[in-house]
Homo-oligomer: A and B are copies of this chain.
Amino acid sequence: MAKKRNGAQQGALIVIGGAEDRYEEKFILNHFFNLAGGRRAHIAIIPTASQDERTGGAYQAIFNDFGAHSVNVLPLFRHEDAEEPSAISTLKEATGIFLTGGDQNKILSVLYGTEALHAIVRAHSRGAVVAGTSAGAAALSDPMIAGGTRGSLARSGMAKLAPGLGLARTFIIDQHFHQRERLGRLIYAVILHPSLIGLGVDEDTAAIIHPNDEIEVLGRGTVTIIDGSKLKMFNPASVPDKSPMVFSNMVLHTLTHGGKFSVKTKSLILERRTQGD
């Protein structure tokens, strides 16, 4: 992470597990707003996953209410929309980009290989914060988990993988994580891609991937981190469809609000207390 282009620092990624609070404290959305610049923020909302402009409008009202400088909903619903100069120009100015929930496969169909996606990647590289919730979170990794089945036991074929937007290059992301029993399919995805870190985010919970390679957890649920870098296994392709995967040395971490994880050391950061006991 933390690549620099033209001296600029890459922005944070906010991976939200879906169903974030939009009606009361709006803690996660407010955190995105602040990281995007607060009252100076130029926010672009991408409602592509939901294919419904009202979804974008609901987020627009929230960010306007917080006091953002500008909030635009980009109507990117067909592949052609994602080449429109007006959308590209909005993304060029954006300090925060928000991908809504819906179906991650729609995000890919509309955005893959387009000018809009290039503009999102460039914005992130120059420091814009990119957040995605639910399907919008899944699409941030590459490959992305496009679908799958429930359960805590990893079985062959359990996750359907597809190319993703690739903003979170070190990770493979899953969302609505414990609410929809997705531990098994994320373990399966990591078995297929052991160089990527599995990131399973619960509802109303966010994993913030900071440019310094630290993950910070916000919200009501948990973030599960699955590290397959020490994995021992048989050829996963030899396991018949739906049969349990056989593996050894899969490392599991579970964090809650305030928890921090270092991607470099692959470990929870246990901070020293600054005050006495």
Contacts and interface: CB of A to CB of B under 8 A. Distances in A.
B154 A254 contact: yes
Interface stretch (A137-145, A166-174, A244-252): A244-252
Interface in A221-266: 221-222, 232-234, 243-256, 259, 261
Contacts of A181: 152
A270 B233 CA distance: 8
Query: How many protomers of this protein does the assembly include?
Result: 2
A85 interface: no
A67 interface: no
A250 B230 CA distance: 12
A35 interface: no
Nearest to A224: B153
Contact of A259 (B178, B183, B246, B255): B246
B153 A254 contact: yes
Contacts of A247: 252-254, 268
B248 A250 contact: no
B244 A253 contact: no
Contacts of A250: 251-254
A37 B50 CA distance: 65
A212 interface: no
Contacts of A246: 254-256, 259, 268
B244 A254 contact: yes
A249 B267 contact: yes
Contact of A245 (B154, B234, B251, B254): B254
B153 A232 contact: no
A183 B124 CA distance: 38
A214 to B, nearest CB: 13
A153 B224 CA distance: 9
The 10 residue pairs across chains A and B that have the minimum distance between CB atoms: A248-B268, A152-B152, A248-B253, A250-B252, A222-B244, A153-B178, A152-B183, A232-B268, A246-B256, A248-B267
Given A153-B178, A249-B253, A251-B251, 12 more contacts: A152-B152, A152-B178, A183-B183, A222-B244, A234-B270, A244-B256, A246-B268, A247-B253, A248-B255, A248-B268, A249-B251, A250-B253
